[in-house]
């Protein structure tokens, strides 16, 4: 890519980043505007509440003056108490507005004057009776004037808040319009820049030397192949089921017919022909085992865990008994320690032990006396189960390939297998929220360690594989 192309691409990237920053700032601004709108509504509600409180106090005073009943003093006192609280709340809400603070001070003065008049008439009624209170109410005409002034003052303060709200809404709308314009224009310019970059790249491609065309076509084929392999890998589980249903029957037929040919027509076949048929049968059987292992790996990924508290000791003993035919006639020293009970899926956990112990039996085959140890230990507060053998081991340089599908660290002629078993073990351990790793030395044996944590349905913890 030339310097010009890189510059164009960098310009497009910077422009898109700038648009992203502006969009983020616009989002923050809109959030602030929403907060200011909510704040303004709260201020207006407080003003309305103050007027309601004054009216409540006035109503309670009138009820007591007319009836002399002490029960009317409760709404009066409640209204007076609420007035002071609501005025203080209003002051806090408008602490950043000097004009509203000054208006609040004037409003408070008017309210105190009105409350003083109400208290005075209450005292007259309490001391001199209804007639004196009625006379005082008839001769005093400043109460209604004060209430009118209080209402007018509250109305002016509400109008101030509504003006502020309109200004903020108008500013937010203008800002939103500007931002939309910037984003649309910016995206258009970015697309244009990218089109120019594409044109430049195309022109540079056309100028390449004709001698590179074959290499280019080869690279394109490789890229397509890589993409196909990636898609195949992503759909491995679906593929495994298709293989199970579509290939197992033909493979059995190939193996079966090859066996029939060898068994029923061996007299008509020479040694080379029989060898070919035997290879066909053997290949079909190996392919069948591989298909079965792939299906098992896929099923592990799809299977839901059936968790229950499970003692591991009896499970381990059953696995060793079931593996007895694999080491029949050999000297195998089983050194099995006590394990524990774990919350796990019993069927899947048994498969972990089957695969690990079967590997231990297989890779100790060339030892005169095989030693296989199973136990557990504490490590960083976790119980770690280990399976150790004195078999072929492996070079730790290649440990990263150990749990990969189809990865084998030994030659097939030395130790049979499909290279899927440890991948199945790793997937099961991961589903249980654990981790698995191995330590080994070539020709000195290997030790596999794994933990059983909370299942994947109960934790979002990150599962690490020790290299």
User: What 3-state DSSP class applies to 305?
Assistant: coil
Place of tokens 């394109």: 220
Say what the pLDDT of residue 457 is: 41
Neighbours of 454 (CB within 10 A): 14
Strands 341-344 and 445-451: unpaired
Tell me the angle at which helices 98-128 and 3-67 cross, rounded to the nearest 10 degrees. Answer: 10
Say what the pLDDT of residue 216 is: 77
Dig out the tokens for 457 from the structure.
Answer: 């349905």
Say what the pLDDT of residue 385 is: 94
Whole-number Å distance between alpha carbons of 284 and 291: 10
Q: What are φ and ψ of residue 5, in 5° steps?
A: -60, -45
Whole-number Å distance between alpha carbons of 449 and 429: 11
Whole-number Å distance between alpha carbons of 99 and 319: 85
Whole-number Å distance between alpha carbons of 104 and 370: 93
pTM of the full predicted structure? 0.41
Neighbours of 317 (CB within 10 A): 12
Say what the pLDDT of residue 432 is: 87
CB 228 within 8 A of CB 236: no
Whole-number Å distance between alpha carbons of 303 and 311: 21
| Neighbouring-strand partners of residue 450 | 385, 436
Neighbours of 159 (CB within 10 A): 11
Q: What are φ and ψ of residue 449, in 5° steps?
A: -115, 140
Q: Maximum CA pair distance of the chain?
A: 140
Neighbours of 446 (CB within 10 A): 25
* pLDDT tens per residue across all 467 residues of the chain: 567 767 766 776 777 777 777 777 777 777 777 787 788 888 888 888 888 888 888 788 788 778 877 788 888 888 888 888 888 888 888 888 888 888 888 888 888 888 887 888 788 777 777 777 677 666 655 677 778 888 888 888 888 888 887 887 777 777 777 777 877 776 777 787 767 767 777 777 787 677 577 777 788 888 877 776 656 655 655 655 565 556 656 766 676 767 777 677 766 777 777 677 777 766 666 666 666 656 665 666 666 788 899 999 999 999 999 999 888 888 999 999 999 999 998 989 998 999 899 989 988 988 889 999 999 999 888 899 999 999 888 888 877 777 766 555 655 555 565 667 788 888 889 888 899 999 988 888 899 999 987 544 443 333 333 33
Question: Which CATH code fits 3-192?
Answer: 1.20.120
3-state secondary structure 355-397: HHHHHHHHHCCCCCCEEEEEEEEEECCEEEEEEEECCCCCCHH
CB 342 within 8 A of CB 384: no
Say what the pLDDT of residue 455 is: 44
DSSP structure class, residue 420: -
Place of tokens 């899947």: 348
User: What 3-state DSSP class applies to 344?
Assistant: strand
What's the topology of domain 308-451?
Heat Shock Protein 90 (3.30.565)
Say what the pLDDT of residue 294 is: 61
The structural domains of the chain, with segments of one domain joined by +, span 3-192, 231-302, 308-451
| Neighbouring-strand partners of residue 439 | 447
Say what the pLDDT of residue 93 is: 85
CA distances from 367 to 63, 332, 415, 447 (A): 107, 9, 13, 16
Q: For the chain, how many residues are written? A: 467
∠ CA 48-51-56, nearest 5°, is 125
The DSSP line for 289-301 is HHHHHHHHHHHHH
Tell me the angle at which helices 248-265 and 236-246 cross, rounded to the nearest 10 degrees. Answer: 40
């Amino acid at each position: 890519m030339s310097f010009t192309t890189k510059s164009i691409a960098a310009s497009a990237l910077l422009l898109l980043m700038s648009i992203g920053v502006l969009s983020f700032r616009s989002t923050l601004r809109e959030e602030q505007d929403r907060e200011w709108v909510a704040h303004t509504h709260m201020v207006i509600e407080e003003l309305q509440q103050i007027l309601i409180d004054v009216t409540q106090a006035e109503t309670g005073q009138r009820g007591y003056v007319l009836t002399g009943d002490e029960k009317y003093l409760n709404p009066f006192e409640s209204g007076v108490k609420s007035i002071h609280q609501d005025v203080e709340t209003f002051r806090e809400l408008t602490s950043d507005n000097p004009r509203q603070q000054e208006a609040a001070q004037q409003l408070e003065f008017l309210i105190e004057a009105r409350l003083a008049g109400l208290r005075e008439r209450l005292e007259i009624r309490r001391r001199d009776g209804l007639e004196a209170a009625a006379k005082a109410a008839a001769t005093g005409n400043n109460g209604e004037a004060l209430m009118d002034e209080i209402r007018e003052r509250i109305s002016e303060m509400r109008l101030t808040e509504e003006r502020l709200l309109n200004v903020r809404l108008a500013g937010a709308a203008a800002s939103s319009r500007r931002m939309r314009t910037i984003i649309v224009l910016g995206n258009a310019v970015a697309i244009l820049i990218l089109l120019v970059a594409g044109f430049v790249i195309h022109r540079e491609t056309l100028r390449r030397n004709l001698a590179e065309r074959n290499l280019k076509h080869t690279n394109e084929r490789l890229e397509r192949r890589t993409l196909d392999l990636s898609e195949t890998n992503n759909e491995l589980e679906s593929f495994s089921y298709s293989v199970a249903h579509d290939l197992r029957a033909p493979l059995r037929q190939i193996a079966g017919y090859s066996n029939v040919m060898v068994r029923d027509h061996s007299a008509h076949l020479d040694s080379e022909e029989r060898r070919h048929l035997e290879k066909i049968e053997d290949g079909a059987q190996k392919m069948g085992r591989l298909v079965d292992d792939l299906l098992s790996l896929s099923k592990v990924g799809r299977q839901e865990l059936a968790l229950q508290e499970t003692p591991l000791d009896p499970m381990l003993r059953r696995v060793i008994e079931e593996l007895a035919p694999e080491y029949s006639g050999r000297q195998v020293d089983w050194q099995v320690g006590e394990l524990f009970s774990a919350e796990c899926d019993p069927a899947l956990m048994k498969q972990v032990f089957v695969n690990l112990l079967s590997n231990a039996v297989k890779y100790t085959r060339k030892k005169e006396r095989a030693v296989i140890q199973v136990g557990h230990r504490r490590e960083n507060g976790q119980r770690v189960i280990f399976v150790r053998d004195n078999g072929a081991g492996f070079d730790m340089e290649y440990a990263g390939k150990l749990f990969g599908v189809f990865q084998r660290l030994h030659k097939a002629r030395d130790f049979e297998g499909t290279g899927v078993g440890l991948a199945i073990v790793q997937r099961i351990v991961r589903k249980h929220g654990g981790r698995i790793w191995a330590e080994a030395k070539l020709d000195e044996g290997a030790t596999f360690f794994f933990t059983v944590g909370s299942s994947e349905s109960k934790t979002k913890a990150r599962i690490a594989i020790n290299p």
